[in-house]
Structure 1
Amino acid sequence: MNIENVISALNNPVRRRILEWLKDRSNFPPSLPEHADLDGVCVAYIQEKAGLSQSTISNYMGVLKQAGLVVAERHGQWTFYRRNEGNIQAFLNEVEKELLKP
């Protein structure tokens, strides 16, 4: 994990909000029946909640993915995103080690 990439990804309030929303699936409309067994949230739901263009959300999700903060899974024409909890915790541990521990 590149800590600078993560910090850069988190330097945008909408990207931070997306990560916050992804903590709880109930922040989004229910999945379509054919997607009920999938983890994550369809990018269209993220776009709708953020109120931004498809290209902007795609860019934001790409930044979050490249930083290792989300995982993307393609199912047909849809891309579903979920938080990468392990990487988020690793980032927090690294920041704690750098800034808090002697």
Structure 2
Amino acid sequence: MYVMLRTPVDGTRLRILTWLREPGTAERGLTADAVAARLGVPRQVALTHLRILTALGLLRTDTAADGPPVHRRDEARIAEIAELFEKGW
């Protein structure tokens, strides 16, 4: 799983998870457009990273009828995974 969190070049997915812990960002989450702007990449690239993190169960996506999907960390799932690694998984 750790390999899926890292890209061979720069660890982008780990940075996204870190950003989502920042005060303010943790509460409001990030949209794909916000991730793209912060990374300086096309929206589709940001979406790919967010989809992988969601597929791994590390993010949850909230959709509202009046706005774009917002991504937030799934702290319970992250804690479960951390515990598995601590046990030597």
Specify if TM > 0.5: yes
How much identity, in percent, do the aligned residues show?
21
Q: Determine which structure has the larger strand proportion and give its number.
A: 1
User: Aligned pair count?
Assistant: 84
What is the aligned partner in structure 2 of residue 18 from structure 1?
16
Q: Which structure 1 residue ranges, 4+ long, deviate > 6 Å from structure 2?
A: none
The correspondence for 1:88, drawn from 73, 78, 88, is 78
Q: Distance in 1 between matches of 2:62 and 2:38?
A: 20
Q: Distance in 2 between matches of 1:80 and 1:25?
A: 16
The amino acid that maps onto 1:51 is G
RMSD of aligned Cα (Å) = 1.9
Higher-RCO chain (CA-CA 8 Å, sequence separation at least 6)? 1
Report the structure number with the largest CA radius of gyration: 1
Query: Under a length normalisation based on structure 1, what TM-score does the superposition of the two structures give?
Result: 0.72
Q: Which runs of 5+ in 1 are unaligned?
A: 1-5, 28-37
